[in-house]
Structure 1
Amino acid sequence: MKKILIVQPSIPKYRVPFFNYLSKKYNVVIYSNKTDFLGVVSQKYCGNVVWGNGFLSFKNKILWHKGLPIFSMLNKNTIVVVNGNPRVLNYMLLLLLCKMKGIKTIWWGHGWSAGSCGILSSIRIKMMEIANCILVYTDYEKTKINKKKCFALNNGLNSSEIVNAINDSDFRHDFCAQTRMVFVGRLTKKSNLEFLINAMKYLPENIKLSVIGDGVLKETFINLADELKVSDRIVWHGAIYDEKLIASVMLKSDVFVYPGSVGLSLIHAYNYGLPSIIHNNREMHMPEYAAFIEGYNGLGYDEMDTDSFCRAVLSYSRLSNNEKRKLRDNAFNTVKTDYNIESMVLRFEDAINFIS
């Protein structure tokens, strides 16, 4: 059984099923932290984990994974999978040392992230070249990088958990006179929820919004909704981590909206058959935007253009129920055929086999 060392800042909930699958096929050791530099808290994982001591931060730009035992990891009988964040200095040091020692490595991370450009983006592309294999989040990134040693996971979720939550629910989705939008994500600047709340005042009364998530800007957003007199059309659910409780909201929604830089929450929505309304500036989205296909599983609009957004919402609301069901079916099919854990594991195996 091949031994694979995986270096990650944290073990978020959505990664646990993926690591569990990998552990059935490989001898996996994960080097991580109980909380990463973004405040993401690691979830309970029954596999082999070597916990670090958090991160040192230099002016919030350069980072160091404390307690990462680099030199004990330098073994030619292992494959080292390094998180591809060039801001974490000892991740890049580990990559270089492995190269010098002839240890096979995989760079795992974004080909780019929302708004990434300039020197950091250039460094990322250069550092990727050191690894024996590059593993990015989506096929779109793979195509852009255009190298034989580049593979794509098509970042996904544990669809079976969501299917179980849907099946266990007492509620079944159906359309009604209202158009019920739902937003899922952290209430931060990245979400750009302020734009959505402002747009609500230009939409008809039968357009409603549910918000799943919490964050530093929650009170600011609630106050804005009060000022604009749209608070009676918005339900604030707060952060929800229980998939069955999430299902109770998603199954009473018709369409997913995200006015900021959308990421994995798009895949989450598609697992519930929710088509999306998101802006069409690819460079300002996370890699998971690649799952969006205009007119197939959602509708796009011009970024930060309220009129364009409202037209998209109204276009959706005026569709016949059969047309809406077609979008729902397409959303389901997007994650049924790809963007799921089983597919990710097979793609990861392809990368391992490439360098073995």
Structure 2
Amino acid sequence: MTHPLKVAVIYHLWPHYREAVMRAMDRGDRVQYHFHGSGEPFAGIVHADPGSVRHFVRAPFTCHGRITWQPAAIAAVRNGGYDAVIFLADPHFASTWIAAALARWMRIPVLFWGHGWLRRESAVKARVRGLYFRLAHGFLTYSERGRRLGAEAGFPPERIRVVYNSLDLERADRVIAGIESGTLASLRPQGLFADPGRPLVICTARLTRQCRFDLLVDAAALLARRGLPVNVLLVGDGPAREGLEARARCLGVAVHFFGACYDEDITGQFIYHADLTVSPGKIGLTAMHSLMYGTPAITHDHFDRQMPEVEAIEEGLTGAFFPHGDTAGLAAAMERWLRSAPARPVVRAAARRTIRAKWSPDVQARIIEDAVLEVTGNA
């Protein structure tokens, strides 16, 4: 291979939290990635900075109900001169069906990147998903469970690579270094509460009904009745906030609603100093955010209703699980952890070791590059 491979990576938008993996991919010298996306915020999601990578191609999209249409994806395949194309693996993208089929007809290798298989599905859904995924020569999924489910669904397991998921680990490392050296202006979240001596439970996420923060408020009330009152810090905003505020007032639970915050110097310190992250609904990238600062995470154990990142949590060492939808079970899991968890330095080291081993931008970039080299015959 005398020159870098030219590869399109086509998403409808690149959320701000994807910027770190974009930069990691962009640093490689064997593959020249061209990141296609709208470049604009959407549905409350801040877009990554298009200037953070060398090659960003604006590719607008429109939504028609649940169907997304992105004509620039088809144009990229037809006119871009790419050696391979990576698509977001979402069957609701009508344009990707066409673009991926066109790429195969043009003998351009296709990779899909996404959740892939989260749960076993009905025969009809599984059939549609299977037809769509078979447009790809290879699949980049987020989890080992996704790979197993994909193999069960009939997708050739040798064509599935687990690329995990990540947030900006380098930025987290700088925040931690600043905290531990004292060079970062101290911002202890305990000071937000009337009784700062209580254990601090945190979650950084949008406040939506699906996140089930009502369970967390109810579990905190149960713990208070058992003699273990906690402070709860919710960093995020969303449509469920008003109802949660009323519920916390009614139950007398100390909940601080900080609101949305995209300043990692602030959120990083909050997570680092918290005793525990609790995400009662699906956990997703909140697991990455918590563990990379060395804070354990608790979430539910119904993996068909979870996100792939739940695999990063190791029961009893970097977090715990509770029965899905069970307030008493959540309270019990929190109490067990707060009363008898491993020493915090042990937990912090284990959590950060887990992130560095698999769930980092550099690991993702390496695995994606290996997949590109293999599918183009350059491995």
Same fold (TM over 0.5): yes
Letter in 1 for 2:202: V
Question: 1:210 matched to which residue of 2?
Answer: 233
Counting aligned pairs with the same residue, the percent is 21
Alignment of 1:138-153 (within 5 A): 138-146=143-151, 147-153=157-163
Q: Tell me, what secondary structure is at the counterpart of 1:163?
A: helix
Of residues 50, 58, 62, the one that matches 2:67 is 62
Equivalent-residue separation in structure 1 for 2:310 and 2:158 (angstroms): 23
Q: Which moved more, 1:239-248 or 1:323-332?
A: 323-332
Call closer, same or farther: CA 1:16–1:171 in 2, change over 3 Å. same
Call closer, same or farther: CA 1:120–1:40 in 2, change over 3 Å. farther
- CA deviations on 1:280-307 (whole Å, 9 max, x unpaired) are 1111111111112211211111011111
Letter in 1 for 2:86: V
Q: Tell me, what secondary structure is at the counterpart of 1:102?
A: coil
Letter in 2 for 1:125: G
- The alpha carbon displacement at 1:136 in A equals 0.6
- For the pair 1:162 / 2:172, whether they are aligned, the reply is yes
Equivalent-residue separation in structure 2 for 1:281 and 1:32 (angstroms): 33
C-alpha contact (below 8 Å) 1:37/1:54 kept by paired residues:
no
- For the pair 1:295 / 2:316, whether they are aligned, the reply is yes
- For the pair 1:308 / 2:313, whether they are aligned, the reply is no
- CA deviations on 1:189-211 (whole Å, 9 max, x unpaired) are 22111111122211125311111
Question: 2:353 matched to which residue of 1?
Answer: 333
Question: 1:190 matched to which residue of 2?
Answer: 210
Call closer, same or farther: CA 1:35–1:116 in 2, change over 3 Å. farther
Unaligned 5+ runs, structure 1 = none
Equivalent-residue separation in structure 1 for 2:313 and 2:170 (angstroms): 21
Letter in 2 for 1:50: V
Unaligned 5+ runs, structure 2 = 152-156, 179-183, 191-195
Letter in 2 for 1:51: R
- CA deviations on 1:69-94 (whole Å, 9 max, x unpaired) are 51452366521101100001001211
C-alpha contact (below 8 Å) 1:12/1:43 kept by paired residues:
yes
- The alpha carbon displacement at 1:155 in A equals 0.6
C-alpha contact (below 8 Å) 2:21/2:166 kept by paired residues:
no
Equivalent-residue separation in structure 2 for 1:54 and 1:69 (angstroms): 9
C-alpha contact (below 8 Å) 1:136/1:150 kept by paired residues:
yes
Aligned residue pairs: how many? 349
Q: Which moved more, 1:188-197 or 1:37-46?
A: 37-46
- CA deviations on 1:323-347 (whole Å, 9 max, x unpaired) are 3433232212111222001111111
Equivalent-residue separation in structure 1 for 2:41 and 2:272 (angstroms): 32
Call closer, same or farther: CA 1:254–1:33 in 2, change over 3 Å. same
Alignment of 1:1-356 (within 5 A): 1-25=4-28, 26-35=31-40, 38-46=43-51, 47-57=54-64, 60-65=65-70, 67-68=71-72, 70-74=74-78, 77-113=82-118, 117-118=121-122, 119-146=124-151, 147-168=157-178, 169-171=184-186, 178-204=198-224, 206-230=229-253, 233-319=254-340, 323-356=343-376
Q: Tell me, what secondary structure is at the counterpart of 2:340?
A: coil
- CA deviations on 1:219-242 (whole Å, 9 max, x unpaired) are 221122112222xx1111111101
Call closer, same or farther: CA 1:254–1:122 in 2, change over 3 Å. farther
Q: Which moved more, 1:266-275 or 1:216-225?
A: 216-225
Q: Tell me, what secondary structure is at the counterpart of 1:82?
A: strand
Q: Tell me, what secondary structure is at the counterpart of 1:108?
A: strand
Letter in 1 for 2:211: S
Equivalent-residue separation in structure 2 for 1:7 and 1:18 (angstroms): 14
Call closer, same or farther: CA 1:282–1:309 in 2, change over 3 Å. same
Equivalent-residue separation in structure 2 for 1:353 and 1:158 (angstroms): 25
- The alpha carbon displacement at 1:121 in A equals 4.7
Equivalent-residue separation in structure 2 for 1:38 and 1:100 (angstroms): 34
- The alpha carbon displacement at 1:116 in A equals 7.7
C-alpha contact (below 8 Å) 2:91/2:129 kept by paired residues:
yes
C-alpha contact (below 8 Å) 2:233/2:257 kept by paired residues:
yes
Q: Which moved more, 1:221-230 or 1:48-57?
A: 48-57
Letter in 1 for 2:362: E
Q: Tell me, what secondary structure is at the counterpart of 2:363?
A: helix
Q: Tell me, what secondary structure is at the counterpart of 1:201?
A: helix
- The alpha carbon displacement at 1:24 in A equals 2.8
Equivalent-residue separation in structure 2 for 1:77 and 1:50 (angstroms): 13
C-alpha contact (below 8 Å) 2:203/2:277 kept by paired residues:
yes
Letter in 2 for 1:104: P
Equivalent-residue separation in structure 2 for 1:42 and 1:193 (angstroms): 26
